[in-house]
């Protein structure tokens, strides 16, 4: 029986970004240098497949530093940690390696610089997300106020409306933050913004590829984890860009074939912490059922690479 034809539009860029690539490399190099077990505070990146692979190699994932022994190395996740965490590790004389994405670290430095200039911070982000917790934890309690939506802006209680600055979570959608930033500037005309957009290049690039792909596709699948902020934003961007069915899947097993029906065109992308092997797994599932033609939708070429910390480049 002949298979029905299906054109798969494959977004580029998609999947791993330089920060995720670096974080995974840090765990692997730490295991090579110090042997197993190496402890990791919080999921190194938000992807079960990646975490399980590192567990199999000897990484132990914990939620708090108190769950780590003093005599084994600990790694801090790519999302960043409050300032109190490395301070506590140093007090215990632990070996620790910070895998915070350099673009998140940039936001941390920015927040500290504004605070040093006497400005109170407003952070645009999602409550409870590790990156938000890490950024807000760079400064003392009450120095960073969280705003999640435009509706939050009139309610935020600031110390001095003339001495304010804002930063944003790096994994948000550019479209989401535009309205919030506009509302902040309307209420607080003196508010100081970042020198350069906080939303990271990889988040923006993946969203732009989705915007280019979505109008061509009857359905779109985003390969990523349900706790991955940037993956969830890609689903939303796809819907807003005109794709009638935009869904998140972790693995091929999650595909809802009934909902897809007899589609002729499909868009596929992946969040910044999803490995290419999972994207290929999803495409293979469609190739088993359809006569697939692949078409690349490329909107940017990424050649960014971040160095791993010096401690891992030095011999043990």
pLDDT digits (tens, 9 = 90+) for 240-269: 999 999 999 999 999 999 999 999 999 999
Average pLDDT, the chain: 95
User: What is the pLDDT, as a whole number, of residue 169?
Assistant: 92
* Percent of the chain topping pLDDT 70: 100
Residue with tokens 């692949």: 294
Q: Give 22's contacts (C-beta < 8 A, 6+ positions apart).
A: 78, 99, 101, 102, 305, 306, 307, 308
Q: Which of 28, 43, 110, 131 is catalytic?
A: 131
Output the pLDDT for position 217. 97
Q: What is the 3-state secondary structure (H, E, C) of 94-137?
A: CCEEECCCHHHHHHHHHHHHHHHCCCEEEEECCCCCHHHHHHHC
127 is catalytic: no
Global pTM reads: 0.92
219 Cβ neighbours under 8 A, 6+ residues apart: 243, 244, 245, 246, 247, 260, 263, 265, 266, 267
| Between 194 and 113, residue with greater pLDDT | 113
Q: Which of 129, 208, 223, 127 is nearest to 174 (CA)?
A: 208
- Strands 219-223 and 245-249 turn out to be parallel
Whether residue 196 has pLDDT greater than 90: no
d(CA 115, CA 108): 11
CA 194 to chain centroid: 19
Q: What is the pLDDT of residue 173?
A: 78
138-194: per-residue pLDDT in tens?
999 999 999 999 999 999 999 999 999 999 999 887 787 999 999 999 999 999 998
Of 84-88, 227-231, 291-295, the poorest mean pLDDT is in: 227-231
């Amino acid at each position: 029986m002949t298979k029905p034809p299906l054109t798969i539009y494959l977004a580029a860029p998609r999947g791993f970004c330089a920060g995720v690539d670096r974080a995974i490399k840090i765990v692997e190099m730490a295991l090579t240098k110090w042997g197993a077990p190496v402890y990791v505070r919080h999921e190194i990146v938000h992807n079960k497949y990646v975490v399980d692979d590192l567990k199999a190699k000897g990484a132990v994932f914990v939620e708090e530093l108190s769950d780590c022994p003093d005599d084994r190395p600990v790694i801090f996740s790519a999302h960043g940690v409050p300032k109190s965490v490395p301070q506590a590790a140093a007090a215990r004389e632990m070996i620790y390696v910070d895998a915070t994405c350099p673009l998140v670290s940039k936001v941390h430095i920015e927040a500290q610089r504004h605070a040093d200039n006497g400005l109170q911070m407003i952070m645009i982000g999602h409550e409870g997300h590790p990156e938000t917790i890490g950024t807000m934890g760079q400064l003392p309690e009450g120095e960073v106020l969280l705003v999640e939506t435009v509706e939050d802006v009139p309610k935020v209680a600031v110390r001095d409306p003339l001495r304010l600055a804002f930063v944003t979570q790096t994994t948000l959608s550019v479209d989401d933050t535009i309205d919030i930033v506009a509302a902040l500037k309307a209420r607080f005309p003196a508010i100081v913004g970042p020198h350069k957009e906080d939303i990271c290049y990889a988040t923006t690039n993946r969203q732009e590829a989705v915007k280019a792909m979505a109008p061509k596709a009857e359905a779109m699948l985003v390969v990523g984890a349900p706790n991955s902020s940037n993956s969830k934003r890609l689903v939303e961007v796809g819907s807003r860009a005109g794709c009638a069915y935009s869904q998140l899947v972790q693995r091929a097993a999650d595909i809802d074939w009934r909902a897809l029906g007899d589609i002729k065109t499909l868009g596929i992308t992946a969040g910044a912490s999803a490995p290419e092997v999972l994207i290929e797994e999803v495409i293979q599932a469609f190739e088993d059922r359809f006569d697939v033609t692949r078409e690349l939708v490329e909107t940017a070429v990424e050649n960014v690479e971040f160095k791993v910390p010096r401690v891992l480049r030095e011999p043990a």
